[in-house]
């Protein structure tokens, strides 16, 4: 277990360190705004740009992989969405947040650092592809279903415009697209700029994980919903099992790509679940509790998966 613990501990250790600081240090929450801005707009985009830009262009158009992993994410969403409809008595807005909770992994803050550390540079492309296309789940289904579940009449054009704006202006997606263009033309930035991008890339994972821990600590565990175990079962167990099984049975995928997709699917619910719940004023306290508990439980489940990967116990066909 020592190599696995050595791999997992820095990531979860940074989250726990941030969690402890958030709980015991009396620092105003407003300071997190600049940290989150730095992560989303300054640090993580260079990471995605560098990963994609250094990749042979032909690897970036693996549509079988994109379609398969995205389909698995949507299946996980609709399972949790169905659970939400059952638990809430047909409340579409609450069920939508629950669907996101069961399907959308923490692919931005945790994904790149963990997959690269566990599986090496070969995991960079599948990591970026999964992030981009899984994020479309958040940016497309959420606004439409929230509008459908509201009392007001659906404004189709306004909702569609909002969805397209979020997809094409999100800094991660912009950076990924720029990386694709750089890979196609085999372009390298000037040395001074490249050095700055490397420095920002190196800061992305530790700052993001620490900020995640602080943010989770500041969300009090006030209400634990009875449906949480079902959604955590979908998110932490069913989703990665589905991804691994379908990719393995389809065949034709590199082992590292299969394991990367499985590890990305096994990550805990993203902090965006709480952010979106607060934005729509729906399922807020329970989303906060779910992200906290899901992150803590994932220490066991993700570490277990890392052990299976390290010991070559996953039968990739």
CA gap 138, 103 in Å, rounded: 10
CA gap 63, 126 in Å, rounded: 11
| pLDDT value for 221 | 67
pLDDT digits (tens, 9 = 90+) for 116-148: 888 988 898 898 889 888 887 777 788 878 877
Place of tokens 């994109």: 66
pTM: 0.83
Nearest 10 degrees: Cα torsion 133, 248, 315, 137:
20
First to last CA, the chain: 25
Secondary element (H or E) of residue 303 = helix 284-310
| pLDDT value for 49 | 86
Enumerate the domain spans of the chain.
2-310
Mean pLDDT (the chain, rounded): 85
- Say which residues have a Cβ less than 8 Å from residue 46's Cβ, sequence separation at least 6: 175, 196, 197, 198, 200, 201, 204
Residue 306 tokens read as 């890392």
CA gap 50, 188 in Å, rounded: 10
DSSP 140-201: HHHHHHHHHHSSSPP-HHHHHHHHHHHHHH-HHHHHHHHHHHHHHHT----HHHHHHHHHHH
Q: Under a CB-based contact definition with an 8 Å cutoff, are residues 259 and 314 in contact?
A: yes
| pLDDT value for 110 | 84
pLDDT digits (tens, 9 = 90+) for 84-118: 999 988 898 899 999 999 999 988 778 888 898 88
Polymer length in residues for the chain = 317
Q: Under a CB-based contact definition with an 8 Å cutoff, are residues 252 and 149 in contact?
A: no
Instruction: Give whichever of 114-118, 178-182, 239-243 has the largest mean pLDDT.
Output: 239-243
Phi, psi of 220 (to 5 degrees): -65, 145
| Residue 278 CB neighbours (<10 A) | 15
CA gap 202, 47 in Å, rounded: 8
CA gap 173, 135 in Å, rounded: 9
CA gap 80, 237 in Å, rounded: 13
Look at 99-103, 278-282, 307-311 and tell me which has the smallest mean pLDDT: 278-282
| Residue 149 CB neighbours (<10 A) | 17
Look at 24-38, 92-106, 160-174 and tell me which has the smallest mean pLDDT: 160-174
Residue 47 tokens read as 């990471």
CA gap 121, 55 in Å, rounded: 10
DSSP state of 21: H
Nearest 10 degrees: Cα torsion 159, 165, 167, 171:
-150
pLDDT digits (tens, 9 = 90+) for 35-61: 878 887 888 788 878 877 877 777 778
2-310 under CATH 1.20.1530.20, yes or no: yes
Buried b (16+ CB within 10 A) or exposed e, 75-92: bbbebbbebbbebbeebb
DSSP state of 269: B
pLDDT digits (tens, 9 = 90+) for 184-239: 888 989 999 999 999 998 888 788 888 878 877 887 666 677 889 999 999 999 99
Q: Under a CB-based contact definition with an 8 Å cutoff, are residues 163 and 146 in contact?
A: no
């Amino acid at each position: 277990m020592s190599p696995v613990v050595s791999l997992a501990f820095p990531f979860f250790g940074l989250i726990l360190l941030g969690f402890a600081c958030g709980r015991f240090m009396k620092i105003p929450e407003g300071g997190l705004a600049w940290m989150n801005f730095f992560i989303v707009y300054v640090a993580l985009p260079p990471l995605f740009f560098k990963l994609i830009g250094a990749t042979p262009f032909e690897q970036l158009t693996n549509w079988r992989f994109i379609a398969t992993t995205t389909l698995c994410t949507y299946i996980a969403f609709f399972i949790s969405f169905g659970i939400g409809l059952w638990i809430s008595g047909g409340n579409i807005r609450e069920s939508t947040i629950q669907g996101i909770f069961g399907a959308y992994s923490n692919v931005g803050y945790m994904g790149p650092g963990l997959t690269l550390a566990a599986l090496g540079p070969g995991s960079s492309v599948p990591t970026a592809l999964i992030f981009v296309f899984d994020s479309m789940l958040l940016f497309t289904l959420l606004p439409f279903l929230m509008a459908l579940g509201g009392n007001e009449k659906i404004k189709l054009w306004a909702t569609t415009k909002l969805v397209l704006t979020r997809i094409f202006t999100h800094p991660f997606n912009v950076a990924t697209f720029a990386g694709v263009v750089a890979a196609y033309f085999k372009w390298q930035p000037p040395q001074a700029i490249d050095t700055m991008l490397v420095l920002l890339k190196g800061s992305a994972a530790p700052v993001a994980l620490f900020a995640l821990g602080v943010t989770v600590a500041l969300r009090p565990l006030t209400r634990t919903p009875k449906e949480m175990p079902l959604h955590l079962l979908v998110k932490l167990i069913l989703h990665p099992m589905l991804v691994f099984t379908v990719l393995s049975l389809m065949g034709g995928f590199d082992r590292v790509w299969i394991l990367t997709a499985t590890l990305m699917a096994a990550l805990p619910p993203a902090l965006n679940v709480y952010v979106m719940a607060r934005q729509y004023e729906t399922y807020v306290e329970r989303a906060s509790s779910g992200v906290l508990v899901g992150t803590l439980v994932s220490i066991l489940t993700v570490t277990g998966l890392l052990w299976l990967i390290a010991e070559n116990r996953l039968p990739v066909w």
